[in-house]
Amino acid sequence: MLGFRGILSSVRVNARPFSQSAVRTQEIIDFTRLSLLKRTKEADGLSRKDSSLSSMMQSPREAALHSKLTGIQAGRTVDVFTGNTAAAFQRLGAVVRANGIMRDKRSQRFYLKPGKAREMRRSRKHRKEFMKSFKHLIEVVKDAKRKGY
Protein backbone atom coordinates (compact mmCIF):
# COMPACT_ATOMS: atom_id res chain seq x y z
CA MET A 1 0.00 0.00 0.00
CA LEU A 2 1.28 3.41 -0.86
CA GLY A 3 1.91 5.82 1.94
CA PHE A 4 -0.15 8.94 1.50
CA ARG A 5 2.74 11.17 2.48
CA GLY A 6 5.15 12.63 -0.01
CA ILE A 7 3.74 12.57 -3.53
CA LEU A 8 0.17 11.86 -2.54
CA SER A 9 0.12 14.51 0.18
CA SER A 10 -0.30 17.13 -2.53
CA VAL A 11 -3.81 15.79 -3.19
CA ARG A 12 -6.19 18.13 -1.44
CA VAL A 13 -9.81 17.46 -0.67
CA ASN A 14 -11.88 20.63 -0.51
CA ALA A 15 -14.25 20.76 2.43
CA ARG A 16 -17.27 21.92 0.44
CA PRO A 17 -20.85 21.29 1.43
CA PHE A 18 -22.26 18.12 -0.05
CA SER A 19 -24.79 19.98 -2.17
CA GLN A 20 -22.08 21.90 -4.07
CA SER A 21 -20.12 18.70 -4.61
CA ALA A 22 -23.23 16.94 -5.87
CA VAL A 23 -24.00 19.86 -8.18
CA ARG A 24 -20.44 19.79 -9.58
CA THR A 25 -20.68 16.03 -10.11
CA GLN A 26 -24.01 16.47 -11.87
CA GLU A 27 -22.49 19.19 -14.09
CA ILE A 28 -19.72 16.78 -15.12
CA ILE A 29 -22.25 14.04 -15.84
CA ASP A 30 -24.41 16.45 -17.86
CA PHE A 31 -21.39 17.67 -19.84
CA THR A 32 -20.38 14.07 -20.59
CA ARG A 33 -23.90 13.22 -21.74
CA LEU A 34 -24.02 16.34 -23.91
CA SER A 35 -20.70 15.53 -25.58
CA LEU A 36 -21.83 11.93 -26.16
CA LEU A 37 -25.09 13.17 -27.70
CA LYS A 38 -23.11 15.43 -30.05
CA ARG A 39 -20.94 12.51 -31.11
CA THR A 40 -24.04 10.35 -31.58
CA LYS A 41 -25.58 12.96 -33.88
CA GLU A 42 -22.32 13.17 -35.84
CA ALA A 43 -22.20 9.37 -36.11
CA ASP A 44 -25.79 8.97 -37.40
CA GLY A 45 -24.48 7.77 -40.77
CA LEU A 46 -22.44 5.00 -39.11
CA SER A 47 -23.67 1.52 -38.31
CA ARG A 48 -25.11 0.73 -34.89
CA LYS A 49 -21.94 -1.11 -33.87
CA ASP A 50 -19.74 1.88 -34.78
CA SER A 51 -21.87 4.34 -32.83
CA SER A 52 -21.66 2.37 -29.59
CA LEU A 53 -20.58 4.08 -26.40
CA SER A 54 -17.14 2.46 -26.45
CA SER A 55 -16.35 3.74 -29.93
CA MET A 56 -17.39 7.27 -28.97
CA MET A 57 -14.99 7.43 -26.02
CA GLN A 58 -11.62 9.00 -26.73
CA SER A 59 -8.49 6.95 -26.67
CA PRO A 60 -6.00 7.87 -23.92
CA ARG A 61 -3.76 9.44 -26.55
CA GLU A 62 -6.56 11.68 -27.85
CA ALA A 63 -7.59 12.58 -24.32
CA ALA A 64 -3.99 13.56 -23.51
CA LEU A 65 -3.68 15.66 -26.65
CA HIS A 66 -6.86 17.60 -25.86
CA SER A 67 -6.19 17.92 -22.12
CA LYS A 68 -5.71 21.35 -20.63
CA LEU A 69 -3.32 19.97 -18.01
CA THR A 70 0.35 20.53 -18.73
CA GLY A 71 3.56 20.18 -16.82
CA ILE A 72 4.15 17.81 -13.94
CA GLN A 73 0.45 17.28 -13.17
CA ALA A 74 -0.45 16.04 -16.65
CA GLY A 75 0.41 12.37 -16.08
CA ARG A 76 -0.29 12.33 -12.36
CA THR A 77 -3.90 13.44 -12.19
CA VAL A 78 -7.02 11.30 -11.99
CA ASP A 79 -10.69 12.23 -12.15
CA VAL A 80 -13.09 11.53 -9.30
CA PHE A 81 -16.36 10.12 -10.63
CA THR A 82 -19.58 10.28 -8.61
CA GLY A 83 -17.69 11.18 -5.45
CA ASN A 84 -15.90 7.81 -5.32
CA THR A 85 -12.62 8.98 -3.81
CA ALA A 86 -11.49 5.46 -2.86
CA ALA A 87 -11.47 4.34 -6.50
CA ALA A 88 -9.76 7.60 -7.50
CA PHE A 89 -7.00 7.00 -4.94
CA GLN A 90 -6.58 3.45 -6.25
CA ARG A 91 -6.22 4.77 -9.81
CA LEU A 92 -3.78 7.44 -8.59
CA GLY A 93 -1.72 4.76 -6.81
CA ALA A 94 -1.66 2.70 -10.00
CA VAL A 95 -0.48 5.73 -11.99
CA VAL A 96 2.22 6.46 -9.40
CA ARG A 97 3.46 2.85 -9.51
CA ALA A 98 3.34 2.65 -13.32
CA ASN A 99 5.28 5.89 -13.75
CA GLY A 100 7.87 4.97 -11.10
CA ILE A 101 7.31 8.22 -9.24
CA MET A 102 8.32 6.83 -5.84
CA ARG A 103 11.53 5.39 -7.34
CA ASP A 104 12.29 8.79 -8.87
CA LYS A 105 11.60 10.48 -5.56
CA ARG A 106 14.06 8.18 -3.76
CA SER A 107 16.72 8.51 -6.44
CA GLN A 108 16.42 12.31 -6.56
CA ARG A 109 16.45 12.79 -2.80
CA PHE A 110 20.18 13.53 -2.70
CA TYR A 111 22.49 15.04 -5.27
CA LEU A 112 24.90 12.56 -6.88
CA LYS A 113 28.10 13.76 -8.43
CA PRO A 114 28.35 12.77 -12.10
CA GLY A 115 31.20 10.31 -11.46
CA LYS A 116 29.29 8.60 -8.65
CA ALA A 117 26.15 8.41 -10.83
CA ARG A 118 28.17 6.74 -13.63
CA GLU A 119 29.66 4.31 -11.14
CA MET A 120 26.22 3.37 -9.80
CA ARG A 121 24.81 2.93 -13.34
CA ARG A 122 27.75 0.68 -14.22
CA SER A 123 27.22 -1.31 -11.02
CA ARG A 124 23.49 -1.76 -11.73
CA LYS A 125 24.27 -2.88 -15.28
CA HIS A 126 26.88 -5.37 -14.04
CA ARG A 127 24.49 -6.78 -11.42
CA LYS A 128 21.77 -7.20 -14.05
CA GLU A 129 24.11 -8.96 -16.49
CA PHE A 130 25.53 -11.14 -13.70
CA MET A 131 22.04 -12.23 -12.61
CA LYS A 132 21.13 -13.05 -16.21
CA SER A 133 24.29 -15.18 -16.61
CA PHE A 134 23.75 -16.85 -13.25
CA LYS A 135 20.17 -17.81 -14.13
CA HIS A 136 21.39 -19.22 -17.46
CA LEU A 137 24.03 -21.28 -15.62
CA ILE A 138 21.38 -22.64 -13.23
CA GLU A 139 19.25 -23.66 -16.23
CA VAL A 140 22.27 -25.48 -17.77
CA VAL A 141 22.90 -27.32 -14.48
CA LYS A 142 19.22 -28.30 -14.18
CA ASP A 143 19.24 -29.53 -17.78
CA ALA A 144 22.41 -31.59 -17.19
CA LYS A 145 20.98 -33.05 -13.99
CA ARG A 146 17.76 -33.96 -15.80
CA LYS A 147 19.79 -35.71 -18.50
CA GLY A 148 21.64 -37.73 -15.85
CA TYR A 149 25.11 -36.17 -15.83
- 96 and 120 together in one domain: no
DSSP-H helix ranges across 13-113: 18-42, 53-56, 60-65, 85-99, 101-107
CB distance 77 to 69 below 8 Å: yes
**What domain range includes position 141?**
111-148
**Which backbone phi and psi does 58 adopt, to 5 degrees?**
-75, 150
pLDDT of residue 79: 81
Q: Is 55 domain-assigned?
A: no
| pLDDT confidence tier of residue 106, bands split at 50, 70 and 90 | very high
Q: Is the pLDDT of residue 113 over 70?
A: yes
Predicted pLDDT at 1: 47
For the segment 5-20, the average pLDDT, to the nearest whole number, is 49
Is 117 within the bounds of a domain?
yes
- Residue 88 within a domain: yes
Task: Please check whether residues 105 and 127 belong to one and the same domain.
Answer: no
Higher local confidence (pLDDT), 6 or 75: 75
Position 143 in a domain: yes
Q: Is residue 62 part of a domain?
A: no
How many domains does the chain contain in total?
2
Residue 86: inside a domain: yes
- Upper half-sphere CA count for residue 32 (Cβ side, 13 Å): 12
Question: What are 56-78's pLDDT values in tens digits?
Answer: 566 777 777 777 777 767 777 78
